[in-house]
Chain A
Amino acid sequence: MVALATPRTLSVTLRVWRQAGPGQPGKFVDYPAKDLSPNMSFLELLDVVNDGLTLQGGEPIAFAHDCREGICGTCSCTINGKPHGPGQGIATCQLYLRTFRDGDVIVVEPFRARAFPVVKDLVTDRTAFDRIQQAGGFITARAGSAPEANALPVPKGDADLAMDAAQCIGCGACVAACKNASAMLFVAAKVSHLGLLPQGQAERDRRVLAMVATMDSLGFGGCSNQYECSAACPKLISHDFIARLNRDYLTASLRATFQPEPAGGGGAG
């Protein structure tokens, strides 16, 4: 019955940010799109508009996409002022046209942050997140055959919480939504997902210190505790992880300072 309540087709106008390349001036261009299925995803709408543009000999709109099922974190449009568009807990690929009304003008912009420079149109370079991950978002594990599953007991509560944090798909919506372009929610999720598990303990302090230092050096802003990030997160990762990150960071920096100095050498022999 729900399907009957929505119109058979929709017509909207896309007001899209067009930018030829990095550092180039950009501008908004209107693209009317007619007779669309309300059940098409937002990325399919961009496909349809691009088909039309290609047929007319125009330059198609560049946008980032991959899995189209909300798990890869590649799509990155700010739609009507909200990263991934209206709705909660969805990526752009999970946004459907039925969310909009017939005749709507939909403003589509790239995720904006200094650390995410625009590559072209709606595509941004989110390598900064990879750099943060490389600074400490890993554990040093024995390579080889898979270890016995029950060798390391993990309390259920910790496992659940670690999984909540591990849901982060690294899309960057948190940065895009934050007035400070802060990456705290991303870093908090990555630090917590390993820090909550026994496998992550060995490098816990080093991880949080290195990831925060890298985050700062890449030009992300600080946290104003407005929690726009968690509201925009397609995986609804809680800002409680930011509180945990703050606690972890402060204790790690204290511990790092008062750790005894190694004697050097490496022993006799």
Chain B
Amino acid sequence: MQPVVSLFTSSIGRKFLMAATGLVLILFVIGHLVGNLQIFEHPDKINGYAHFLQSLGPALWVARIVLLGCVIIHVWAATVLTLESRRARGGEPYAVKTWLQATFASRYMRWTGYVVLAFICYHLAQFTLGVAQTGTFKANLPPYTMQADYRVLGFTVVRAGAVVQDVRSMVVLGFQNVVVAVFYLIAVGLLSLHLLHGADSLFQTFGWRNARWSRALRAVVTAGCAAYFLGNLAIPGAVLAGVLQPLAPAATQVVGH
């Protein structure tokens, strides 16, 4: 059978699609978090970074389409596999059901997945499309003037004096809404739980896991998920704690913040 066809038709092929798309999305969320943690530096950093990403043009769209494709394939494979599994289990349920060794995270993948999907939609509506919390959307805030060059790999990609959107204030003002910040915290918590099983699982699906190092893998994945959660906790946490304040309305005057 053609591998492309068997990827979509066989149970192992679909698991492979789940794992491969999951891996892309894991790498994305890690990169996304690391980029966003620049909010704790000078406003030039996060605003320059955001402007740089927006200026990528076609490359940005390629990345967006790839990520959207991954989400669609991941959700499709999960749905088909779940429906098949339900059918496979048969009509009569067990009267007594016990878990033998399935981890907590693995038992709630579908539910954590639902919340993460809802979160992705809101997150895009809030920070990318500006259809939620429109008042604090970057396009509706005073622009920000870069105080210094923003460099990526030693290349200057945004020059000092450039007028860019004030993403930093959008994030801070957005998370000053306690309901939004709490939803964000719950969602990234559940995403971390989702990754705890997903990251461990993808090694099994690719066939790169055995008893010799599964314990070490588990430890690395657990530490990675905890670090991911704490990193995500930091941004809304700092806003709610008042550590991160929005720039004054006249953004350009806040030099040496």
Contacts and interface: CB of A to CB of B under 8 A. Distances in A.
B89 A213 contact: no
B96 A216 contact: no
Nearest to B201: A225
Nearest to B103: A226
B87 A114 contact: yes
Interface stretch (A91-99, A136-144, A238-246): A238-246
Interface string A156-200: 000000000000000000000101111000000000000000000
A109 B95 contact: yes
A221 interface: yes
Nearest to B83: A221
A239 B98 CA distance: 19
A115 B95 contact: no
A107 B96 contact: yes
Contact of A114 (B9, B13, B88): B88
A156 to B, nearest CB: 17
B179 interface: no
Interface stretch (A57-65, A227-235, A260-268): A227-235
B194 interface: no
A21 interface: no
B97 to A, nearest CB: 5
Contacts of B10: 212-213, 216, 249
B11 A115 contact: no
A223 B15 contact: yes
A222 B14 contact: yes
Interface residues of A, number: 54
Interface stretch (A36-44, A46-54, A75-83): A75-83
B162 to A, nearest CB: 48
A29 interface: no
A228 B101 contact: yes
B207 A181 contact: no
Interface string B1-16: 1110010011111111
Interface string A203-233: 0000001001101100111111111101110
Contacts, number: 151
B3 A257 contact: yes
B88 A228 contact: no
B73 interface: no
B89 A243 contact: no
B92 to A, nearest CB: 6
Nearest to B13: A253
A231 to B, nearest CB: 4
Contacts of A257: 1-3
A243 B208 contact: yes
A120 interface: no
B94 A246 contact: no
Contact of A181 (B85, B96, B101): B85
B100 A228 contact: yes
A113 B89 contact: yes
A115 B100 contact: no
Contacts of B99: 228
A180 B3 contact: no
A222 B85 contact: yes
Given A243-B210, A246-B205, A250-B207, A181 B88 contact: yes
16 contacts: A15-B95, A17-B95, A81-B94, A81-B98, A179-B85, A209-B1, A221-B89, A224-B109, A226-B107, A227-B101, A228-B102, A240-B211, A243-B204, A243-B205, A245-B12, A257-B3
Closest 6 pairs (CB-CB, A-B): A247-B207, A180-B85, A221-B88, A221-B85, A81-B96, A226-B102
Interface of B: 1-3, 6, 9-16, 81, 84-103, 106-107, 109, 197, 200-201, 203-211, 214
Given A181-B85, A212-B10, A243-B203, 18 more contacts: A17-B95, A80-B96, A107-B95, A107-B96, A177-B100, A180-B88, A182-B11, A221-B85, A221-B86, A222-B14, A225-B201, A225-B205, A228-B101, A230-B101, A246-B206, A249-B10, A250-B16, A256-B1
